[in-house]
Structure 1
Amino acid sequence: MFRICKEFHFSASHQLTHLPADHQCARLHGHNYVVMVELAAPTLNADGFVRDYHELAALKHYIDSQFDHRHLNDVFPGPSTAEAMALHFYDWCAARWPETAAVRVSETPKTWAEYRP
């Protein structure tokens, strides 16, 4: 299986209001997010790619226009946890690129959440 990955970065604030008031994530805070999409295919296309990286620019445009420097509670459907965002971005990517295998979302350099069907 051939696999490719590409990272996308954005900054945003959020607040997990469903958590107890003394939980640190219940307070308004922000992250420098990293979204990594992974595509996989058993064979390469005629150009020798799983998919041309240039085609993934659509995800950058989506992230930049909808999420970058925004308050996620105002623009994200559902709780803005890294897990929920991984599923959201996976669904968005899979609808465009059938080779989508997984999406990872990082809120900090040491933490990742991943959705992989």
Structure 2
Amino acid sequence: MYRITKEFHFSASHQLTHLPDDHQCARMHGHNYIVEIELAAVDLNTDGFVRDYGELKPLKTYIDETFDHRHLNDVMNILTTAENMARHFYDWCAARRPETAAVRVSETPKTWAEYRP
């Protein structure tokens, strides 16, 4: 199996209002997010790629236009946890790129959440 990954970055705020008031994530706060998409294929295409990285530009456009410098609670109809965001981005990517194998989301340099079916 061949695997490639590409990172995308954005900054946004969110608030997990379902948590107790004394929980740090219940307060509005922000992150510098990293979204990492992984594509996989048994065989390479005729150019020798799983997928040309340039073909992932629609994901960058989607992230930039929909999420960058936004309040995620206003633009997403889910709890804005990294886990839910990983699933959201996976579903978006898989609908456009069948090679999508997984998506990871980082809120901090030490934390990652991944969705992989």
Shorter-chain TM band: over 0.9
Q: 1:35: how far off?
A: 0.1
Partner in structure 1 of residue 83 of structure 2? 83
Query: Which residue of the partner structure matches residue 99 of structure 1?
Result: 99
Identity rate, percent:
79
Deviation at 1:32, TM superposition (A): 0.1
Give the match's secondary structure for 1:21.
coil
1:76 CA drift (Å): 1.1
2:60 equivalent in structure 1: 60
Give the match's secondary structure for 1:112: strand
- SS class of match (1:12): strand
Shift of 1:56: 0.3
**Residue in 2 that maps onto 1:110:** 110
User: In structure 2, what residue type is equivalent to 1:60?
Assistant: K
Q: Which residue is equivalent to 1:9?
A: 9
The structure 1 segments of at least 4 consecutive aligned residues displaced by more than 2 Å after TM superposition are none
1:54-113 deviation line (CA, Å, top 9, x unaligned)? 000110000000000000000012100000000000000000000000000000000000
Matched residues in 2 for 1:68 and 1:106: separation?
14
Q: Normalising by structure 2, report the TM-score.
A: 0.99
SS of the aligned residue for 1:7 comes to strand
Alignment partner of 1:3: what SS?
strand
For structure 2, which runs of at least 5 residues remain unmatched after alignment? none
TM-score by length of 1: 0.99
Amino acid of the structure 2 residue aligned with 1:112: W
Provide the C-alpha distance between the structure 1 equivalents of 2:55 and 2:93, rounded to a whole number of angstroms: 11
Q: State the partner residue of 1:31.
A: 31
SS at match of 1:44: coil
